[in-house]
Structure 1
């Protein structure tokens, strides 16, 4: 940079600062500063809240599915898939569900028996009526039953039931479970059992109408890499699903929510842009005479443009000092008000929003 250029730039900065201070004292910049601040407030608050809600809904969808990626099959799934997932840093779990009959003192009830391994659940927890919230299945030699089944058969924790060739103790009654889905075709209640206990029941035999699932959870990049590796190795009758593919109703809800929040963000941006444009136009109209005087005094068009941009930068910085903290406060308040209606806990907003 040449020697004369540095003093010229310093002079421009000083002049821009003096003009900015003068217009602030006279109230000339109040309107444009308010417009810029409100624009930043609207865009930041809506953007942060939108991001939090979308992440929360995606997490809720993954919880209802049981993981980030699910492999479904009508036959047992190759354990080598889990080993490959573990190499990529993914958590994995297995479940198998099939219809069965529960017996207790001459009473019979059609149920859906669900076997879970040590890795399940990957997302969410079981909530039991005795106050426990656990991220593992029932202990060996026992089962968990749902509240409706407990009421219908007058069952309580500590009592015994029969499943196939096994007598099992009711360890607890659950009020909420991960990947809970009501079977409208059979109306059957679920009974949860450790997968290691299934062979002793004699219920899982060749030809049984069972659905096997392998569930995987972890970073999005690792999930995508594992999916690319797994897809060409799928056998007949096996299908990979994520939260949008496995549950059509969830896909529709997520799509509608995304469209709504994108529309809200666009609307906030448009309104903010209009407000800034109107304020800037009014500001420019009121300063045409001043710019004309500066041109008569020898200021070039480039110098006037630089002065205007420097003043605008000062306005933006000062507007950000009050609008960004207020936007953060407003989106936090809005999130707290929205959580009861959404039925989910919103994750914290990233500082980069």
Structure 2
């Protein structure tokens, strides 16, 4: 009976199946991708670092640290720093990451260059390996020269990849590798220069790496150095991509939920139409169990077949993920297929389709034989206790499944609660709208308008289901666009003359006047001259930093104890700052207590309050200070912000270097000034904020492309649900339309009735979805990004009319049979 009935209703059942196929495809493809990603990270863990372990230090290693480094016998070492380079061939300048390498690095993996031999010969030949994209940008070729500080050397080859780098990280500061012996000749490592020393090791016994790390890390931390193994690095990398995977999983889960809503709504209408047939079967002797199993077998079959098809589609889709995420991955991802996600996909299709169809299916159990004669919409209702039990089972399953995806009970509970709230809001709005139409029904409107409004609240209406399906899809994609605008607004740089768009770093005291004169001679202003003084914390609240490093019970964050702070002194607050506690001290005189201002994140991580003492080590000189105020700092603004600010009158005589800011209205002027400054002062570093902004926008575009790709699953599933729901209502609407034609209604009247109904549904669903997206994005802007919210117009001008037109098109396609045929012919065909 299940097979016979399914053959007679194959079109509707195929639409049920389509509702869940995309959700399963999304979950399976992402599960396969996550499994492959973890396997690749584990398999390539050594190649990601290029060594078994490394020791790094942000300064020249201390005597004790150097003794530990030497005792372990490093196989390779490097110093890296950010600097400007010049291409003498065309005068081009660029901010790069210079890596001075010595030794046979990497021990695992390869340096990928063009020509290939350059990776092996650059050390002996004394050439540089320059980022391949950078060479294309400046039209450079092997054999051309590159000027790094005061050193000019030939380019040995184009650097395509090196262990541990990604396309995103190298786009910020492209790598340039030179032999370590040439670093001194660059004359770039001067006072205040930001640099990092790294020592690489290859060992035979990798089993005891964790024990070595536990033994040496505390000692190295005392010397402001750090030991990192390939396993800990890959664990961090795995956790980073776990977060990406969790987001993608949740996006797939939302698509799956939409499919389940489609199943539930479609089965609800389907079973409703079968109630009389089930009553007839019971009159002929069929038991409750038999009538229930007929339709349970149908839905279970849909779930299994849909899960299988979705799993097969998911296998194909996961091949796209390495392409989508290649910019963010530090290795080439090799795809393999495992059985687990496929089994999960089939079981998920079966379980979720049956679970979400269970409520309408239970009506078959409670159908009475007398329902053959009854014409009561509320007959054959399952008891409230059974309904609550099914709802409870659905919620428990949603929680357990989301917990399995994101491995965090709190987040899983929040996600399920958020999903339920969104569904509830959409459903309540739909029901409220239907009640308002019924209560304030416009009796004086035209016949076609009244008839279309009646369809929104009379029996077999699809108002709630369609509004939920349309609204949720619109909500997801609109939130994406609104959030993207918030992120881009944070990176936006004003182009007024008061705003700096050029930052010049590492200006030595003897260069200040010359650099300032070089800038002003070209007609550009020096907007700010910011002094920078480097220091470390020596004593926090009466306890020395060395004691705190040994004490494992303190609450102070580890970075505070090892960090080299770059501080400044001034007599006023910056535009990006606001006093939260205490009083700002603009200036102190000699002999007076020194009241400093610290950022709120530093106060939180160092457990400092207003009035607490802090002793700083400034190039060997200890200075006692007191926390005078705590500031809120907007770190997102593209300008120099500081964790610690001193008042004037304290640090003027301390060893320091300077940062200038300027505003150059066009890119040509910026390029000329950068070229001249780097030629005169090779040690200075110049950051063009317009280029940084463009880079951030490019990164956000790539991220949003990935998110858009995932949102596609939800939107397309929503469309399938929409088609299924609207097409399911076709069978009820056909009979009504035939009756209207029999009573004398014309084709254009029937067309208008259907058109207005679906226009109302499309407008309501998409409008509610956009409004919900506005509310959620506003909350994100205020509580997460702390930015003003300026919504995008795209959801209003594209999604609102677009989805309404789509709903209208699907709805009108339903009644083409009625319009083309005679009423008697249609009734015979439907029966």
Q: TM-score interval w.r.t. the shorter chain?
A: 0.5 to 0.7
Q: Which residue of 1 aligns with 2:128?
A: 144
Q: 1:97 aligns with which of 50, 62, 79?
A: 79
Kept after mapping to 1: 8 A contact 2:69/2:199: no
Kept in 2, the 8 Å contact 1:46–1:331? The answer is no
User: CA RMSD, aligned part only?
Assistant: 6.0
Residue 34 in structure 1 maps to residue 20 in structure 2: no
Q: Report whether the alignment pairs 1:191 with 2:174.
A: no
Q: Is the 8 A contact 1:66 1:215 kept in 2?
A: no
SS of the residue corresponding to residue 260 of structure 2 reads helix
Q: For the Cα contact (< 8 Å) 2:24–2:307, is it kept in 1? A: no
1:73 aligned residue (22, 46, 56): 56
In structure 2, relative to structure 1, the CA distance for the partners of 1:94 and 1:336 (3 Å cut) is closer
Distance 1:301 1:155, change over 3 A: closer
**For the Cα contact (< 8 Å) 1:33–1:319, is it kept in 2?**
no
Instruction: Kindly indicate which of the two structures has a greater share of residues assigned to helix.
Output: 2
- Shift of residue 266 of structure 1? 2.4
Tell me the equivalent position of 2:213: 230
2:4 aligns to what?
22
1:60-87 Cα distance to aligned partner (Å, 9 max, x none): xx8997469864323566699899xxxx
Distance 1:297 1:35, change over 3 A: same
Task: Give me the whole-angstrom Cα distance separating, in 2, the residues matched to 1:188 and 1:277.
Answer: 53
After superposition, what is the alpha-carbon deviation per residue over 1:220-267, rounded to whole angstroms, capped at 9, x for unaligned? Answer: xx99x9547633442332243636869xxx95xx58744642342122
Aligned to 2:251: 264
| 1:120 CA drift (Å) | 0.6
Superposition pairs for residues 52-67 of structure 1, below 5 Å?
Answer: 52=33, 66=49
- Alignment size in residue pairs: 291
Structure 2 counterpart SS, 1:242? helix
CA–CA distance in structure 2, aligned partners of residues 228 and 305 of structure 1: 62
Does the C-alpha gap of structure 1 residues 52 and 117 become closer, same or farther in structure 2, counting only changes over 3 Å? farther
Structure 2: distance between partners of 1:189 and 1:330: 33
Structure 1 pair 174–330 and aligned structure 2 pair: CA distance change class (3 A):
closer
Superposed CA offset, 1:107-128 (max 9, x none): xxx9945225435164564223
Distance 1:158 1:48 in 2: 46
Unaligned runs of 5+ in 1: 1-18, 84-92, 100-109, 162-168, 202-208, 217-221
SS in 2 for 1:287: helix
Using a 3 Å threshold, how does the CA distance of structure 1 residues 124 and 296 change in structure 2: closer, same or farther? farther
Q: For residues 121 and 319 of structure 1, do their structure 2 counterparts lie closer, same or farther at Cα, with a shift above 3 Å needed?
A: same
**2:97/2:175 contact within 8 Å kept:** yes
C-alpha distance in 2, partners of 1:82/1:311?
69
Q: How does 1:156-171 map to 2 (within 5 A)?
A: 157=143
| 1:103-159: CA deviation from partner (whole Å, max 9, x where unpaired) | xxxxxxx9945225435164564223x3x288768465644332679x99x995499
- Deviations along 1:149-176, one digit per CA (max 9) or x if unpaired, are 9x99x995499x9xxxxxxx96822333
Alpha-carbon displacement from aligned partner over 1:9-37 (angstroms, at most 9, x marks no partner)? xxxxxxxxxx23312331x2432333224
Tell me, yes or no, if the aligned pair for 1:97 and 1:114 is still in contact at 8 Å.
yes
Q: Which has the larger radius of gyration?
A: 2
Secondary structure at the aligned position of 2:258 is classed as: helix
Query: What's the secondary structure of 1:316's corresponding residue?
Result: helix
1:285 aligns with 2:272: yes
Distance 1:325 1:33, change over 3 A: same
Alpha-carbon distance between aligned partners in 2 of 1:327 and 1:292, rounded to the nearest angstrom = 41
Contact 1:95 1:214 in 2 (8 A): yes
Aligned to 2:24: 43
Q: C-alpha displacement at 1:271, in angstroms?
A: 0.7
Closer, same or farther in 2 for the Cα pair 1:300/1:63, shift >3 Å?
Answer: same
Q: What SS does the corresponding residue of 1:277 show, helix, strand or coil?
A: helix
- Using structure 2 for the length normalisation, give the TM-score: 0.27
Which of 1 and 2 has higher RCO (CA within 8 Å, sep 6+)? Answer: 1
- Inter-CA distance 272–229: structure 2 relative to 1 (3 Å threshold): farther
Counterparts of 1:342 and 1:113, CA distance in 2: 21
Post-superposition shift, 1:274? 0.5
Change beyond 3 A, Cα 1:67–1:286: farther
Equivalent position of 1:350 in the other structure: 337
Q: CA deviation at 1:272?
A: 0.8
Unaligned runs of 5+ in 2: 82-95, 148-152, 186-194, 342-831
Pick closer, same or farther for the CA change 1:342–1:329 going to 2, 3 Å.
same
CA distance in 2, matches of 1:287, 1:137: 79
Taking the aligned partners of 1:137 and 1:274, their CA distance within structure 2 comes to 62
Residue among 114, 124, 127 paired with 2:100: 114
Indicate yes or no: 2:229 matched with 1:242. no
Q: Give the distance between the partners of 2:175 and 2:316, measured in 1 at CA.
A: 45
8 Å contact from structure 2 (residues 78, 101) kept in 1: yes
Deviates more, 1:67-76 or 1:49-58: 49-58
Tell me, in whole angstroms, the C-alpha distance in 1 between the residues paired with 2:117 and 2:226: 32
Q: Distance in 2 between matches of 1:45 and 1:183?
A: 31
